[in-house]
Structure 1
Amino acid sequence: MTKPGIVFAHGLWADGSCFGKLIPTLQAEGHEVMSSQHGLDSLATDIAAVKACLARVPGPVVLVGHSYGGTLITHAGTDPRVAALVYIAALAPDSDETSQSHLAKFPTTPVFGHLDVPEGRIWLKPSGVKHFAGDLPEAEQKLVYATQGAPVADLFNQKAEGTAWKSKPSWYVLATQDQTVPPELQHFVSKRMNATTTEVASSHVPMLSNPAVVLDVIRKAASAVSAR
């Protein structure tokens, strides 16, 4: 039996390479994998980029989103090719919410005090990396900073239709030491979507600091899809 395809969606201050500790293992285990390279220019174009990747792997597809990537898979995941969702320290706004209104319900985390906004783009300062990926070795933190993708300033205020977690089985990796997306928000959304939840003592980037944990969750989602 062909194994499910897997498509990744990255968040802010990242690109598709942030899943580099997961992709080779999943490929070796027989999955076709794609990681969306979206430009953080608008919610609509980012969703379209994720949907374009769905056509590049065999279905059914496990759609995996980190951080703002959770917003993307929530909307893109209504595509009939998507059979399961995996959220990694992620947002998951309903169709009447934006990423920003979603975040605003919870206490502000330290990372938001370490941003620059020149020319309408939001950049993470060097001082903010410890609040984003503080449990990585220093060399990896520097790589995270150097490869960051800067979103347009109003990206989190944009809205899209569709709420995939209302109809698709969901898994959630909850980062309990997160200083970017509040753990309180992660508890709220994982409970609201009735996700199978795995907690990990991690910064905002468990796919980099605890890849084995995240791989295990993705495998469980893929196995559930295969068994259907």
Structure 2
Amino acid sequence: MSTQNKPSIVFVHGLWADGSCFSKMIPTLQAEGHEVVSTQNSLDSLEGDVAAVRRALSRVSSPVILVGHSQGGTIITAAGTDDRVTGLVYIAALAPDESETAQSLQAQFPVTDVFAHIEIADGRVWLLPEGIGCFAGDLSEQEQKLVWATQGVPVADLFNQKVEGVAWKSKPSWYIVAKNDRTVNPELERFVAKRMGATTYEVDSSHVPMLSNPSLVIDVIRTAANSVQVSPTA
């Protein structure tokens, strides 16, 4: 008899981060009885990252709450159409519709500060050291340096790639708006949250509320998880 009586949580990171960006929340959620996986996405292609998330869904028990940060929101929007996913949590995230790419969605809003602090080299988009303040400016200097050192570096055309599937049209969604975000425009965040009909929260935070305000993000994930009924199976 399985004792799993809570939904699993699968975390999905975006650009200039890796799976460790959720490290302040994973132990608490595990202690509360959730299976948790944080994917490590190559950022080589959107299709490949969606496939990585779907592989992760196979490693945990259903149902799953899928949590995406930043470009991770684009990934969960596609991967979340999987039947094993019952809810979506977006953290300062992109959430393109079927006619949009991450790039065309962002082009509808003023460019944020971070894009003045990037360098394209070897076909990849690197966040320069002086740009970390636009990404994670409310963390300590030590934490900012750690985030920068572990950044996931995307292929240069990643924002222009598309994968079919818009999960927020059929799955319940929760959205955390980072009010002081200088990486994804907060007005974009409000727009996509409203469009998807998400239960929306706003927090005084940089682009990384899961690091600067982890207790709030955990509470939102708990709310999403509590909306799912899980019955132990033989």
1:189 corresponds to 2:192: yes
Is 2:202 the counterpart of 1:199?
Answer: yes
Could you report, residue by residue, the CA deviation over 1:174-220 in whole angstroms, capped at 9, with x for unpaired residues? 10000000000000000000000010000000000000010000000
In the aligned structure 2, how far is the partner of 1:73 from the partner of 1:212?
A: 22
Q: Aligned partners of 1:119 and 1:7: how far apart in 2? A: 31
Q: Which has the higher contact order (CA 8 A, sep 6+)?
A: 2
Partner of 1:140: 143
Question: What is the alpha-carbon distance in structure 2 between the residues aligned to residue 208 and residue 118 of structure 1?
Answer: 28
Quote the Cα distance in structure 2 between the aligned partners of 1:89 and 1:31.
Answer: 23
Partner letter of residue 184 of structure 1? E
8 Å CA contact retained: 2:7, 2:230: no
Aligned equivalent of 1:40, options 31, 38, 43: 43
Matched, 1:65 2:68: yes
- For residues 37-95 of structure 1, the C-alpha deviation after alignment (integer angstroms, 9 at most, x for no partner) is 11000000000001110111111100000000000000000000000000000000011
The correspondence of residues 109-128 of structure 1 with structure 2, limited to 5 A, is 109-128=112-131
Question: What is the TM-score with the length of structure 1 in the denominator?
Answer: 0.99
Q: What pairs with 1:143-158 in structure 2 (closer than 5 Å)? A: 143-158=146-161
Instruction: Quote the Cα distance in structure 2 between the aligned partners of 1:227 and 1:86.
Output: 18
Which AA in structure 2 matches 1:162? G
User: Which runs of 5 or more structure 2 residues have no equivalent in the other structure?
Assistant: none
The aligned counterpart of 2:21 is: 18
> Cα offset for 1:96?
1.2
Shift of 1:226: 2.5
TM-score relative to the length of structure 2: 0.96
The 2-side partners of 1:200 and 1:214 are apart by 10
SS in 1 for 2:122: helix
- Which residue does the alignment assign to 1:215? 218
Structure 1 runs not aligned, ≥5 long: none
Give 1:73's aligned amino acid: I
1:30 match: 33
Instruction: Give the Cα separation in 2 of the matches to 1:142 and 1:17.
Output: 14
| CA distance in structure 2 between the partners assigned to 1:215 and 1:8 by the alignment | 12
Structure 1 stretches of 4+ with a deviation exceeding 6 A read none
1:227 positional shift: 7.4
**Is the aligned partner of 1:164 residue 2:167?**
yes
Q: Percent identity?
A: 68
Q: How far off its partner does 1:2 sit? A: 1.2
Give the Cα–Cα distance (whole angstroms) in 1 for the partners of residues 230 and 91 of structure 2. 23
Q: CA separation in 2, counterparts of 1:226 and 1:25?
A: 20
- Aligned length, in residue pairs: 228
Task: Name the structure 2 match of 1:97.
Answer: 100
